[in-house]
Amino acid sequence: MLTAAQKTRVVLVILGFVLAALALWTRLCWLQVIHPNHWITIARRQHLQMLELQPTRGSILDRNLKPLAISIRLTSVFVDPRHVKNPTATAQRLAPVLNQPVGLLQAKLSNKTKGFLWLARRIPNQAAAQIRAMRLPGVDVLMEPKRVYPQGYLASHVLGFAGLDAQGLEGVELAYDRLLKGEPGWRWLDRDAKRRPVGAWDGPTVAPRDGLQLVLTIDSTIQFFAERELDRAYQERRAKGACIVVMDPVTGEVLAMANRPTFDPNQYSALVPETHRNRCLTDTFEPGSVFKVVTAAVALTKQMFRMDEKFFCENGAYPVAGHVLHDHEGHGWLTFPEVIMLSSNIGTVKLAMRLGPNAVYEGVKAFGFGAPTGIELPGEVSGVARPPSRWSKTSITAVPIGQEITVTAIQLAQAISSIANGGILVKPWILREIQDHEGHLVKSFKPTIVRRVIPASVDQQMKEILAGVIEQGTGKLAKVPGFRAAGKTGTAQKVEPTGVYSHSRFMASFMGFVPVEDPRLVIVVVVDEPHGSYYGGTVSAPVFRNVAADTLAYLQVQPSVVTPPAPPVSIPSAPAQPVERGMVVAAGD
C-alpha cells in the first residue's frame, strides 16, 4: 500500500505529464493549425529551390501572316556552386562542350556564396544532351526561349530587337514589349536537408503564360521591293544614309519602312547606334522643294490665286528681304501650276508673300508638321516649325520653299497622303491586329482620321499640278510605266556647323503617289548626302518609280490609260546666275 505521501507524488508526476502533453499539444496546434504558413515557408526555403520559367515571346507577323520575328526554345545551363564537389574537374569536363575557358568556368563553380549562376544560355541541343548525360552534381539545364528574325535585315528598323532576357529594346519589340513578353511561371526543385538534389523536378509548378502575337500593316513583299531599291541608290550614290516610307494613303497603313545603313537583328550584340536608328522617325532635315506642295495647297485653299494666274520669276534672280533669291534655272513668266511643276523658288516665294506669314504657318500646322504623327514606334521626333512671332525678316522667303523648318520622312508621307486621298490627314499606323498565341483575334485596329486639310476641289487641282511635275517638270524620272503618277522633287542644302548652307552636302528627296485617279500608294524617298548627282529628281525619283512599278504589279492593279503629255512648257532662256553663299543651289529641283 502506498502511503499518502507516495500517492501525492504519483498524482503530481501524472499531472506533470498531463500538463506537458497539454503544452506540447497546444504548441503543435499553434504551429500546424493556427500559424502554419511561417514554418511552411522556412521548410520550402530549406528543401525547395524556385526557378523562374520564361514564357515564349509572342511572334510578330506581316499583314499576310508571314513570320518576321519568332521565338524558339533552346537549353541553358545553370549551377548551384554550393553542391559542386570538385570545381576544377567539373570545369574541365564542361569547357569543351560549352566552348568556354576552364578558368572562367572554375571561378563560377567555386563561388559558394551564390545559389544560382548561369553557365551558358541557349546552347545547341547536342551540347545540352552531353551535359545531361554527365550528371554533374550541382549542374542542371533549363529550357529557355530565343528570339529569331527569319527574314534577317528585312524590316529590321520596324521590328527592332529583343535582348538576351527577351526584353524589347527597339522598334515594335520595345513599343509592345508588355504584350509580347507574356507572364513568367515558376518551378520548384526538391532538395534534401543538406540541399542536395533528390531527383527530377517536382513540387508545385505555375506554367508560364505565353505572349500575344502581333500582326503588322507591313507587307514583306513590298518591304523587299523598298529595301532593294533603297539599297541600290544608297550604294550607287555612296550616300551617308537613306530612308523610304510606303503607305496606303487612304488608311494610313505603313506597308514598308526601310533605312540605310541597316542591320541584322539576329546579331544585335554587334550593333552600333548609327545602324539601328530608324531615320524615318528620328532624323529631321530641311525638306527643300518638296515643301512647296504645302505652300501651293494653302494658296489655292485661301482662294487668293487663279490656276491661270502668271508670276514673273525674275529670270532666276530676285532681290528680296536684303538678299538675292535664286532659282536653279532661270524662268520668266510662269503660271501657278508651272511654278510648282518647274519648282521655282521665286514664284513660290511670291505666292507666300501675298498669303502672309500667318496663313503659311497655319498651313504648315494643318499638314501635321511641327508635331509627331503618333505612329506606334519609339523615337519619333516632332521636327521644328517656328510660329511667325519667331520668324526673321527673311523667313517668309525661306519657310515656303522648305528652309528654316525641319521635318521627318514619316511626316512627309502623312502630308502627301492628304493630297492623294482627297484632302484628309490620316494617322500613320503599324499595328493591324493583336492575336493570342494560338492565332485567335484579341483586338483589331482601324484608320484614324485627324482632320480635313484642304477642300476636295483644291485637292483635285493639286493632284493635276503634281502629276504635271512628273509629266512635264522636274520629276520625269518618276514616271511609272502604265500609270499616271504625281509627286514632287526636292534637293535641299544641309547646314554647315558654321550656320551657312553647304555647297557640297545635300538631301535629295521625292514624295509622290500612284495612280493619280485612284491612289493606292504613297512613297517618300530621302537620300542623305549622295555623291555625284544630288538632285531629288535624279537620285530619289527612280527609287519611287521602281518600287511603285513592282508594288502595283504585285497588288495586281490594272494599268490605267496614260493621258498624253501636255504641250511642253515654254521656258524663257536666261543666263546662269551666280550662286551666293547661303542661298539655295538646288532646292528648286
Query: Which helix (H) or strand (E) segment is 21 a member of?
Result: helix 4-29
- Contact assessment for residue 66 and residue 222, using Cβ atoms and an 8 Å cutoff: no
pLDDT at res. 221: 97
Intrachain domains 49-82+117-216 and 220-262+281-479+491-541 with the same fold: no
- Provide the 8-state DSSP code for 81: G
Q: For residue 270, give every residue at least 6 positions away whose Cβ sits within 8 Å of its Cβ, in sequence order, or none.
A: none
Instruction: Give the cell for residue 558.
Output: 490594272
3-state secondary structure of 64: coil
pLDDT at res. 579: 33
pLDDT at res. 581: 30
CB atoms within 10 A of CB 275: 16
Q: For residue 99, give every residue at least 6 positions away whose Cβ sits within 8 Å of its Cβ, in sequence order, or none.
A: none
Compute CA distances 64 → 67, 79, 431, 465, 553, whole Å: 9, 43, 13, 36, 17
d(CA 169, CA 278): 13
Instruction: Give the cell for residue 259.
Output: 533605312
Sequence-ordered strand ranges (E) for 461-582: 486-495, 501-514, 521-528
Query: What are the extents of the domains in the chain?
Result: 49-82+117-216, 220-262+281-479+491-541
Q: Residue holding cell 496614260?
A: 562
Compute CA distances 543 → 120, 233, 421, 511, whole Å: 46, 7, 22, 10
- Provide the 8-state DSSP code for 31: I
- Contact assessment for residue 157 and residue 363, using Cβ atoms and an 8 Å cutoff: no
d(CA 324, CA 353): 15
d(CA 534, CA 107): 58
Closest by CA to 189, choosing from 151, 142, 155, is 142
d(CA 43, CA 35): 14
Question: Side chain identity at 320, as an amino acid letter?
Answer: V
Q: Residue holding cell 525674275?
A: 314
What fold does the segment set 49-82+117-216 form as a domain?
Penicillin-binding protein 2a (Domain 2) (3.90.1310)
pLDDT at res. 125: 78
d(CA 233, CA 542): 9
Helix, strand, coil distribution of the chain in percent, nearest 5 = 40, 25, 40
- Active-site annotation, residues: 289
- CATH number of the domain at 220-262+281-479+491-541, please? 3.40.710.10
Q: For residue 53, give every residue at least 6 positions away whose Cβ sits within 8 Å of its Cβ, in sequence order, or none.
A: 142, 184, 185, 186, 187, 206, 207, 208
Q: For residue 395, give every residue at least 6 positions away whose Cβ sits within 8 Å of its Cβ, in sequence order, or none.
A: 357, 386, 388, 404
d(CA 536, CA 545): 13
3-state secondary structure of 250: coil
| Angle, alpha carbons 369-373-377 (nearest 5°) | 140
Compute CA distances 90 → 103, 191, 417, whole Å: 11, 21, 64
d(CA 237, CA 562): 31
Compute CA distances 401 → 91, 110, 155, 586, whole Å: 69, 69, 32, 11
Compute CA distances 498 → 188, 288, 433, 495, 581, whole Å: 65, 20, 48, 8, 12
pLDDT at res. 90: 87
Instruction: Give the cell for residue 454.
Output: 484642304
Compute CA distances 438 → 57, 159, 212, 268, whole Å: 13, 21, 9, 28
- Provide the 8-state DSSP code for 247: E
pLDDT at res. 362: 95
Instruction: Give the cell for residue 554.
Output: 504585285
Per-residue pLDDT of the chain (589 residues; tens, 9 = 90+): 667 777 788 778 788 888 888 888 887 777 677 766 666 666 655 565 666 677 889 999 999 999 999 988 888 888 888 888 888 888 888 888 888 888 888 888 888 777 778 888 878 878 888 888 888 888 888 777 788 999 999 999 999 998 877 788 999 999 999 999 888 887 666 665 555 555 444 556 777 888 999 999 999 999 999 999 999 999 999 999 999 999 999 999 999 999 999 999 988 777 777 788 999 999 999 999 999 999 999 999 998 888 889 999 999 899 987 889 988 888 999 999 999 999 999 999 999 999 999 999 999 999 999 999 999 999 999 999 999 999 999 999 999 999 999 999 999 999 999 999 999 999 999 999 999 988 999 999 999 999 999 999 999 999 999 999 999 999 999 999 999 999 999 999 998 888 888 888 999 999 999 999 999 999 999 999 999 999 999 999 999 999 999 999 999 999 975 545 544 444 333 333 333 333 344 445 6
Query: Which helix (H) or strand (E) segment is 227 a member of?
Result: helix 220-236
- Contact assessment for residue 354 and residue 397, using Cβ atoms and an 8 Å cutoff: no
- Contact assessment for residue 191 and residue 203, using Cβ atoms and an 8 Å cutoff: no
